[in-house]
Chain A
Amino acid sequence: MVDLVSSWANAGSVLTVSRWVTVIGGLLLASLAVLVLCLQFGATSVDVRTVATAITHMFRGDESGSPSLRTSEIIMVQIRFPRVLMGFLVGASLAAVGVTLQALLRNPLADPYVLGVSSGSALGVSLAILFGIGSAVMLLPLLPIFGFAGGLLALLLIYRLAQSKGRLPIHSLLLAGVILNAILTAFIMFITSIMEPNRSAGLMAWLMGSLTAPGYPALGVFSMYVVLVLAILMHKAQLLNVLTLGEETARSLGVETEGVKKQLFALTALLTGAIVSVSGMIGFVGMVVPHAVRLLIGSDHRLLLPASALVGGMFLAVADTLARTIMAPAEIPVGIVTALAGGPFFLYLLLCRKDRML
């Protein structure tokens, strides 16, 4: 019997520990390589050896000799390293939020940006800024809370709008998202138009989705926040699997769906609020990355969730490197790069694979 069982259980049709370790281990190594590569490029490019010495000096905290090396070290330590790491964390969170929303709404096209959750968070943050909570766009602990509240409201609204007779038809969900997005964006535009011009310019750049180099305390708080929420989501991965069977079937398997759904909505809104408050509205990472990863490694969320997070991190780190270098020394918002890469992919899915999603 055991031999018979292992014939299918080890043949790649179910998730095994060794497959999980191989995939996640490989992606961790790849992420490391991508991060080191991204550190090299920018307005001034720095070779690998300098990156390495800068990092070792950063951790040892000792002074180094030649002044030119010191300049590039300052660039590395003060600007590039935190920014690349921030990009990685934001991309990972966006992909994780995408995976969670897709399973929760049983819709492969769900994405915090497409559904208007990001706009909700952005409206919350914009309102906070309008009323003078935080003169800078970033780095105030209150901003993520406003982002969370806005995102959660948008998510609940979407859910109520699209639900009919206990079902969530895919197209009505997307339609509700598009309309909600338009309304929320109008509010945000209104806020920017009544602000002082110099403040609204900063807000606009942030809204388009841009990464900046945060200070180390802010980076530390943000990464702890992200790691904590990702760990909780990871812990719920098996529930996500069962939820894809449909809500009634999930309940007949002993899942208290109402409570689980509320928790998952709150977690995704929390993460979206945090992401939006630091990086504005970066679109399509949450949809494109999980989709591609799912095609390669299957749908089991215990593997899909961490793998998508790592790939999403790499994707955004690379996209941000492009945004920094294409028009150097000027920068373009990274949201433009992801939208240009992800938008056509979304259209392709919507038009060409219609049969599979209905």
Chain B
Amino acid sequence: MTAARTGTAQSSLAVNPPAIEVEGLSFRYHTREEQGRKWTLDHLSFHVDAGEILGIVGPNGSGKSSLLKVCTGLLPAGEGQVRLGGVPLRKQSQSDIARMVALVPQEYVQVFPFTVAETVLMGRFPHRTARWWSLGIGDETANDLACAHQAMVETDVLPLADRLVSDLSGGERQRVMIARALAQEPNILLLDEPTVFLDINHQIEICSLIAQLRAERRLTVVLVSHDLNVASQYCDRVLMLKEGRLCRIGPPDETICPDILRMVYGCDVVVDAHPQTGRPRVTMPISVTRF
């Protein structure tokens, strides 16, 4: 049985391994204190293909952000394993992972006056080649500068290069954080609630930026979102989490439908087709009892 499984794993590796493979993954916080404690993530198995955009949705506390963190090695997997590009996460150092996966956190608070260019250049940290005696001055190679420049061009933050990050608006700061992640030259981009504090025009801006990056850089994107419509319109597949369990995974028109949403969120919603894309669109129903 084991032999058969490794056999299939190897053959799939030979073709083109999925960007992320999650196998029987369980995770919980505070493993030592309460052994009987519920799993935050409960035996998840799925994979993300290279070049795909996967949306992770689910109610508050369903483990969306935790899943993202386990996939970057920020949180240790309790049981099961995660493979990035066919290699188990456990066998890679944090720097190895950083050269492959970039994470854009939900919010970014900077208390010190760093400029946008300085912040984006920090994304080159996993690629640094400085020797131990170096004091770090002038460590940036021409390639580092070129990568940062390219990332700033793609996210349209180049005009802001000398501004302080703390002086930017929410949408601008989010683009800077994406530029910082792109400077890492990752294959996989993970975003935690990329649109959460943004108004509608910045939401559109960030979402189309993500779609454009996937097309131009052939990035694999995993994004956690509260917004079912963002997941439906911009993702190839949607993964639904409920209380740490995988509820459904598939294309938006198979996952974003009223009965599944009722099961996951416990409420009724109106789902119709988006007039432009034909993909499912979720709206709040008008409560009948009010009339």
Contact = CB atoms under 8 A, between A and B. Distances in A.
B45 interface: no
Given A253-B125, A254-B125, A254-B126, A244 B114 contact: yes
Contact of B108 (A8, A170, A235, A249): A249
A17 B137 contact: yes
A298 B105 contact: no
A262 to B, nearest CB: 16
B43 interface: no
Interface stretch (B142-150, B230-238, B242-250, B264-272): B142-150
In this complex, the member of A11, A13, A237, A294 whose beta carbon has the largest number of chain B beta carbons within 10 angstroms is A13
A5 interface: yes
Contacts of A14: 115, 117-118, 121, 140
Contact of B162 (A12, A170, A241): A12
Contacts of A241: 114, 118, 122
A254 B72 CA distance: 10
A13 B115 contact: yes
Contacts of B116: 13
B128 interface: yes
Interface in B172-201: 184
Contact of A253 (B69, B108, B134, B184): B184
B108 A248 contact: no
B117 A13 contact: yes
A252 B125 contact: no
A1 B149 contact: yes
B15 interface: no
Given A14-B117, A254-B97, 8 more contacts: A1-B149, A4-B149, A102-B112, A235-B133, A242-B125, A255-B125, A295-B113, A356-B111
In the A-B complex, the 8 residue pairs with the closest CB atoms: A254-B98, A254-B95, A13-B162, A17-B138, A254-B126, A8-B161, A13-B117, A299-B112
23 contacts: A8-B117, A13-B117, A13-B118, A14-B117, A15-B137, A16-B138, A17-B138, A102-B112, A103-B112, A107-B111, A234-B135, A238-B128, A238-B130, A238-B139, A241-B118, A241-B122, A244-B112, A245-B108, A245-B110, A245-B119, A251-B94, A254-B94, A303-B137
